[in-house]
Amino acid sequence: MGYSINNIKKTAVLSLAILLPWLAYAEQSHGVTDEKEGGTMKSDTITRNAAAYALPPLPYTENALEPVISAKTIGFHYGKHHKGYVDNLNKLVEGTVFSGPGMTLEKIMTETAGKADKAAIFNNAAQAWNHAFYWKSLVPNGGSEPPAELKKKIEASFGTVEACKKELADAATSQFGSGWAWLVQDGAALKVVKTSNADTPITKGMNPLLAIDVWEHAYYLDYQNRRADHVNSVLDKLINWKFAADNLK
């Protein structure tokens, strides 16, 4: 039997329909990636665009931060809250310039910050970024001494590491409502700043070194209203000074 023009057209369309999804899949880099080996990353290289932003893997198991933060808290915080921000972002940016090739969470945050009509996109992009950064700001058996270069900079800006920790604790406990406490690099100096809700120092031109999440979802299951107890335990036992040192520019 011979092939009619219509049959050839149908075969071509069918072949394209089968091939295109595979071609699209092959081009994806699947969202948030980590360029540096060893689980650390520069604060400005967290994200890569793909057909969808991805939830980055936790850098440790859900029970690795116990007894300071329980597996139950991490399970909800990472599996529900962080995942929710990533899922919401993917829905919000579908078909917009924010889902185009080369787009990153950092670019979305910078381009949508302070724009009322883009608030939902900013909030979900920033919370996706903040949480990816936060998980790496913690490490099992953390605390203790910062690496030498960071310690020197901390002492130049705060006097002592203890004074830096106290300022971080004060910022984290005095943040009214939901938000974040950050150690940042601002020019030559290191500073402690706090931000509300999803806000991030990145949109203010500062380089984040580490973050402490003080939304209630970060501690309420374990500490209820005792935010200060949670924050002090995090600073003494979990804070990842090596990650902060790796983020110095």
The residue to which tokens 């984040």 are assigned: 208
Q: Please answer whether residues 218 and 16 qualify as being in contact, where contact means their C-beta atoms are separated by less than 8 angstroms.
A: no
**Binding-site residue total for Fe ion (CB under 5 A)?**
2
Q: Minimum Å distance from CB 171 to Fe ion? A: 16
Q: Minimum Å distance from CB 157 to Fe ion? A: 27
199 sits near Fe ion (criterion: CB under 5 A) = no
| For Fe ion, the closer CB: 130 or 185 | 130
| For Fe ion, the closer CB: 103 or 239 | 239
Q: Minimum Å distance from CB 127 to Fe ion? A: 7
Residues 52-71: x where in contact with Fe ion by CB under 5 A, - otherwise, as a string = --------------------
| For Fe ion, the closer CB: 129 or 241 | 129
User: What string of H, E and C letters represents the secondary structure of 60-123?
Assistant: CCCCCCCCCCCHHHHHHHHHHHHHHHHHHHHHHHCCCHHHCCCCCHHHHHHHHCCCHHHHHHHH
Report 201-230 residues binding Fe ion (CB under 5 A). Answer: 213, 215
| For Fe ion, the closer CB: 62 or 213 | 213
- Laid out side by side, the sheet with 189-196 consists of 189-196, 179-186, 207-213
Q: Minimum Å distance from CB 214 to Fe ion? A: 9
Judged on CB neighbours under 10 Å (0-12, 13-18, 19+), 87 is middle
* Residues near Fe ion (CB under 5 A): 213, 215
